[in-house]
Amino acid sequence: MISTTVGDALQPHAARLRGVELTQLLQQDPQRSQDWAMRSGPLYFNFARQCLDRQALDALLQLASQRELTQAFRRLFDGEQVNVTEGRAALHTALRGNHSHAALAREAFNTASAVRQQMGALVAGLEQSGITDIVSVGIGGSDLGPRLVADALRDPAGNRLRVHFLSNVDGAAAQRVLAPLDPQRTAAVLISKTFSTQETLLNGRILHDWLGGSERLYAVSANPERAAAAFDIAPQRVLPMWDWVGGRYSLWSAVGFPIALAIGFERFEALLAGASDFDAHVINTPLADNIAVRHALTAVWNRNALGHAAHGVMTYDQRLALLPAYLQQLVMESLGKSVQVDGLPVNVDTVPVWWGGAGTDVQHSFFQALHQGTTVVPLDFVGTVRNDDPYAENHLALMSNLLAQSEALANGQRSDDPHRSYPGSRPSTMILLDALTPQSLGGLIAMYEHSVYAQSVIWGINAFDQFGVELGKQLASGLLPALRGQVQADDAVTRTLLAELQARA
């Protein structure tokens, strides 16, 4: 079994380092704060405050070599069927650059580039149409990426198309999104890889009726015929995607249409270029100097050697406030698996719970638990060196808090009063973007994608399927007739709950 040796490889080092404080690791190696820093283009990473030493890192790198991680990245970029349970490639890298000589990957790159030009023409058309607002309808991977990037990079002066996002099946969400909008000046983009997702079909119907027909409806799907037919959308307004793009890896495809509408087509292309630059780093850099690999190995160390069951991502740039929500899907839908690629159980823990929020707000809520609680949560701090707002004093304050939090968690502070004592040795990685630009954000997201893939290779699991979400969907569709009183539910507790719902409706 592929994962059995993760524990074997790491346990001796975990035992050796038990009781060793992070401050000791930093004192023993005065160069560590610089040596454990890495850079790729506009992205800087500092891993010095992770609770492992050089020997443990070497063991992790050896594990990565044993797992043939370099070759695994090659397979990903070449378009091999890394999504083995569904017999598919995962060619998100081909959506943003040409990093492979393999025929499949080159073909994917060419196809994606052609569709991007088609999308550019639609963006230009909409920009000149008198339309002021766009409603993007989609959920999960067809929503979170565009929502994050559009929010992070939108024009603060509001001089572009205003893009609104509608995902939840709760009708209150549709009501809230539509209430302030004028149907005459609004268009909608329905995004669904499968075009069979309940939420998107229902919300798409609401938009269709609210707009008074399909004249201002657009769609993005890997099933363009179904999309065109379901809402009577003209084929030239339906953009394709493909089964070789996973939903949560799809913002670089036509799924990014709302991004291009929100920030402009050129900046969308710059986002792709930033991701492609990071792809080049990943595919061309040996394991020991590879940032995504280091990030992944750190995650494996925290999970499997130190047993940490949670991971936090704290953004010190308000424009990245949606990053934790985006990463929750990317990481937990990809790595939330208990069986290996070969179907056998994994013998190590896989994904921890990912969560997070935006500093400094979070410092005044749950950071108390991070500093003094009994559960240690390793963190990624993500900050931006140069701000774009006119409030320089605020930016200095933001940066001082970013630095202070990482330092306080790592070093702690002893006090005779146990209530006022900070244990320290709480690990974090510092991630700094030179500035928040399409390029740096593209690179950052690509880094997380590649880290996720590297973790999946170490754990021997498939990062590209998500069968875990299916059972709930099946049960929900079976319960619709029960809610309408047409059939009885099978489950006794569900029957009681249905009776309560029906009695109080």
Stretch 230-259: interaction string toward ligand F6P, x if CB under 6 A? -----------------xx-----------
Distance between start and end Cα atoms, the chain:
52
Residue with smaller CB distance to ligand F6P, 47 or 448: 448
Q: Are the beta carbons of 249 and 90 closer than 8 angstroms?
A: yes
57, two tokens: 């890192």
Q: Which stretch binds ligand F6P (CB under 6 A): 187-195, 210-218, 264-272, 384-392?
A: 187-195
CB of 107 to ligand F6P, least distance (A): 23
Q: Which amino acid is at 232?
A: D
473 counts as catalytic: yes
Q: Which stretch binds ligand F6P (CB under 6 A): 135-143, 157-165, 176-184, 206-214?
A: 135-143
Q: Are the beta carbons of 424 and 413 closer than 8 angstroms?
A: yes
CB of 371 to ligand F6P, least distance (A): 35
Q: Residue 449 and residue 335: Cα distance in Å, rounded?
A: 11
Q: Which stretch binds ligand F6P (CB under 6 A): 31-39, 140-148, 177-185, 389-397?
A: 140-148
Q: Residue 122 and residue 375: Cα distance in Å, rounded?
A: 50
Q: Which stretch binds ligand F6P (CB under 6 A): 193-201, 358-366, 405-413, 444-452?
A: 193-201
193 counts as catalytic: no
Is omega for the bond preceding 132 within 30 degrees of 0, making it cis? no
Residues in the chain: 505
337 counts as catalytic: no
Q: Which of 48, 76, 131, 139 binds ligand F6P (CB under 6 A)?
A: 139
CB of 221 to ligand F6P, least distance (A): 8
Residue with smaller CB distance to ligand F6P, 302 or 466: 466
* Strands of 162-166's sheet in order across: 162-166, 133-137, 186-191, 217-221, 238-240
Q: Which of 193, 267, 337, 450 binds ligand F6P (CB under 6 A)?
A: 193
Q: Which of 85, 194, 328, 363 binds ligand F6P (CB under 6 A)?
A: 194
223 touching ligand F6P, by CB under 6 A: no
79: phi > 0 → left, psi -120 to 50 → alpha, else beta; which? Answer: left
What are the C-alpha distances in Å from 221 to residues 94, 241, 376?
A: 18, 5, 42
CB of 374 to ligand F6P, least distance (A): 33
Candidates 364, 393, 419, 470; catalytic one? 364
Provide CB contacts within 8 A for 426, sequence distance 6+. 22, 370, 371, 376, 377, 378, 379, 409, 410, 412
Catalytic residues: 333, 364, 473
Binding site for ligand F6P (CB under 6 A): 139-142, 192-194, 197, 200, 247-248, 333, 466, 469
